[in-house]
Amino acid sequence: MVQLAGACLVQSCLLLLAGAGQSRGPSGREPAASCQLRGKQSELNSFLWTIKRDPPSYFFGTIHVPYTRVWDFIPENSKKAFQHSHIVYFELDLTDPYTISALTSCQLLPQGENLQDVLPRDIYRRLKRHLEYVKLMMPSWMTPDQRGKGLYADYLFNAIAGNWERKRPVWVMLMVNSLTEVDIKSRGVPVLDLYLAQEAERLRKQTGAVEKVEEQCHPLNGLNFSQVIFALNQTLLQQESLRAGSLQIPYTTEDLIKHYNCGDLNSIIFSHDTSQVPNFINATLPPHERITAQEIDNYFRQELIYKRNERMGKRVKDLLEEYPDKSFFFAFGAGGDQENSRGLLNG
């Protein structure tokens, strides 16, 4: 059986639940759509693996970018496999309202606590200021297309950042990461995973999930306080540099889309150029901070990649054994680190 490479990592998966598309696709840049380097699209690798049994079952690697950016590049064999499968499994059940409420409560601070009580004063103040800036900028970040679809800046801001003072710092950190201009511009189109879930529902396929929200959410809550404060501080520093114009975010999502459309699995899974949840491992960090960054990186790798792969692999195996006469289509995130680094939440 195929190893479940990378899987859809928590933030990126959970992001889907908030209902909006997400990506770092930049504006004003050529879409990294086509794969000019090689031959015909149909001859490229696809992210489809067949599990040889009768009837066959499939693994399909998805990514969390607006589906319109990749759909035309997904080979026919993958689309056929999806159409012909009886049962479609995702990492999370995106169509179950319980998934959303479980996510919301998992992100909240304990009853009666507020971020202001929890965060160091300097961090709280900078966070608040940054969110005020985002709120102010949001109308100018949105595209005419988004406005044409009736998406309003206030609504979007509240959908992503409403209730931020009640969220756990780690989720606020992820949220801040998803509140950049390029991310905002790509809201409103379902990401590929969500699109497949909607299609499965439309085609009245049986659907299911191999994971529970808690299994994705709890590990993130397991970072300890000093690690979370470090991460939030770094995230804010990065956003502040961005605001001051002294830093440009690398367009990692564009690269991801390009690799995906080119069937370049190795780049998707193994590329480390976008390290973990924002880029904490930064060559200019002083040594003791680099250690903290590395510890966070290791923690996520262990909890969100290795342990999950094992857990999900076991559930897949059980399903295949329990229903030998059904054809399954397992749609899981194809990326490893990259997905982890970009997922960032907006519930």
Q: Is 224 in the site for ligand NAG (CB under 6 A)?
A: yes
Contact residue for ligand NAG among 104, 279, 294, 309 (CB under 6 A) = 279
Position 194, amino acid: L
12 contacts ligand NAG (rule: CB under 6 A): no
Nearer of residues 69 and 126 to ligand NAG, judged by Cβ: 126
Residue 207 binds to ligand NAG (criterion: CB under 6 A): no
The answer to the question of residue 294 lying near ligand NAG (CB under 6 A) is no
Select from 241, 270, 302, 307 the one that contacts ligand NAG (CB under 6 A): 241
Q: Which residue in the set 76, 113, 117, 122 belongs to the binding site for ligand NAG (CB under 6 A)?
A: 122
81's CB contacts (< 8 A; 6+ apart) are: 48, 50, 56, 58, 60, 329
**Distant-in-sequence, close-in-space partners of 153: CB < 8 Å, separation ≥ 6:** 138, 139, 141, 142
CB under 8 A, 24+ apart: contacts of 130-138: 130/176, 130/236, 130/239, 130/240, 130/243, 131/161, 131/164, 131/176, 131/179, 133/243, 134/161, 134/179, 135/161, 137/181, 138/184
Q: Is 346 in the site for ligand NAG (CB under 6 A)?
A: no
How far apart are the C-alpha atoms of 126 and 240, rounded to whole Å? 9
Least Cβ distance, residue 323 to ligand NAG (angstroms): 42
Q: Which position among 221, 282, 294, 309 is part of the footprint of ligand NAG (CB under 6 A)? A: 282
**Is-contact 253 25, C-beta < 8 A?**
yes
Cα–Cα distance measured from residue 200 to residue 198, given in angstroms and rounded to the nearest whole number: 5
Shortest distance (Å) from residue 339 CB to ligand NAG: 19
Closer to ligand NAG by Cβ: residue 96 or 181: 181
Minimum Å gap between C-beta 229 and ligand NAG is 6
User: Which one of the spans 90-98, 155-163, 211-219, 230-238 is the region binding ligand NAG (CB under 6 A)?
Assistant: 230-238
* Interacting residue ranges for ligand NAG, rule: CB under 6 A: 120, 122-123, 224-227, 229, 233, 237-238, 241, 247, 279, 282, 284-285, 289, 295
